[in-house]
Amino acid sequence: MSYIAGGATIRADINQALIEGPSADVGLIGAEIMPLLPVDVKSGQYLKVELGGGELLNSDATKRAPASGYGRTSRKFTTDTYDCQEYGLEELVDDSFRADADRFFDLQASTARFILRNLKLSHELRVKNLVFASSTPFTTADQSPTEAYTSGNVEQIDVVKDVTDAKISLNKLGYEATDVVMSAPIFELVRRTTLLQNQFFGVISNTGGRILSEQEVASALGVRRVLVGRAAYNTAQKNKAYSGSFVIPNDKIIVANLQSGQFTAGGVGRTLVWSGDAAGGFVSETYRDEERRSDVLRVRMNTSEKIIDANAAVRITTSA
């Protein structure tokens, strides 16, 4: 059904408050795994060059004799599609409550920040459901660990070997690993493992009980970053007692090539943002609900999370 949005006003001032308020991003890694990329149309088709049909790693160059022609190759292109969907959330800001609460903080900006956190958690879950789900196959089958990632195996876990094996699998597909993705509980286990500590400090070194930082783990694993999913969400139904769980699961570690920008840069995927409706990824709006003597604050996004290259990641299961 067609309609004209009656009185909804895009609030750039609230958007600026969201940018300045870092709390909405704490622990979230979805936009690092699948960076935002603006697209001009809501739904579309794009060309793909696949590893096999595109003959990207073929060694087809031939020797040429004087006055003779050069060998030629051919390249097959395939297509894929995307379809952006709108997500959003609204909250009433009552006039009476705002008049009182504004003595302590900007109620509208704070409410928008809370809603933005809800929206970003939804995005985090959609990214997780794509890259961690067994129903999403990557080219390389999930690899088994040297030892199961349990606290009882802290002296036997060899995360360096596990990640190195995954990096070599990526090399065979023409990719270098840039990042390793894991949950917060798995990271807290990994940073205490004996073999990783020995690799970083030396076997005879006395670390004084110090454990490795994220950057030190990344350095030991030979990657740019270790992305640790620390974002938690409420798994209980609305109006039920809070039951918290981490978005990023403990059952897999992902070794991947992660890139941003246009598809030609490669990488696992992108969060496509329909710029015609939600430029910048997130839009804050207000409109008036006079019957409830309230402003209605809305934050929305219009996106499609898309895996663009199934060659660009290898998953390691954390159970043997």
pLDDT digits (tens, 9 = 90+) for 104-162: 667 777 888 888 888 999 999 999 999 999 888 899 999 999 999 999 999 999 999 99
Residue 20: pLDDT over 60: no
DSSP 299-320: EEEEEEEEE--TTSEEEEES--
Q: Is residue 154 part of a domain?
A: yes
**Could you read off the pLDDT of 52-93 as tens digits, one per residue?**
554 556 666 777 778 787 777 676 777 889 999 999 999 888
Residue 295, strand partner residues: 93, 288
Q: What is the DSSP string of 257-273?
A: ----SSGGG--SEEEEE
Residue 226: is its pLDDT beyond 80?
yes
The confidence score (pLDDT) of residue 189 equals 96
Does 240 reside within a domain? Answer: yes
Q: How confident is the model at residue 21 (pLDDT cuts 50, 70, 90)?
A: very low
Find the domain containing 139 and state its range: 10-52+77-317
Q: For residues 115 and 196, what is the distance between their CA atoms, to the nearest angstrom?
A: 40
Residue 58 lies in a domain: no
Q: What is the DSSP string of 223-254?
A: SSEEEEE--EEE-SPTTSPP-EEESS-SSEEE
**For residue 275, what are the contacts with CB-CB under 8 A and spacing of at least 6?**
38, 39, 40
| Tens-digit pLDDT profile for residues 279-305 | 778 888 889 988 888 888 888 999 999
For the segment 182-208, the average pLDDT, to the nearest whole number, is 84
Q: Which residue type occupies 185?
A: P
Query: Tokens at residue 241, please?
Result: 């007692």
Q: How many angstroms separate the CA atoms of 179 and 167, rounded?
A: 10
Residues forming beta bridges with residue 272, ordered by sequence position: 37, 304
- 72 within some domain: no
Q: Could you tell me if residue 310 is inside a domain?
A: yes
- Would residue 239 count as lying in a domain? yes
The CATH number of the domain where 211 resides is what? 3.90.1690.10
Whether the CB-CB separation of 312 and 266 falls below 8 Å is answered with yes
Measured distance CA(223)–CA(232) in Å, rounded:
25
Q: Partners of 81 in the beta sheet?
A: 45
Look up residue 135 and give its two tokens. 């129903």
Residue 19: which pLDDT band, with cuts at 50, 70 and 90? Answer: very low
Number of domains in the chain: 1
Which value, in Å, is the radius of gyration of the alpha carbons in the chain? 24
Residues 314 and 171 sit within 8 Å (Cβ to Cβ): no
**Full-model pTM:** 0.83
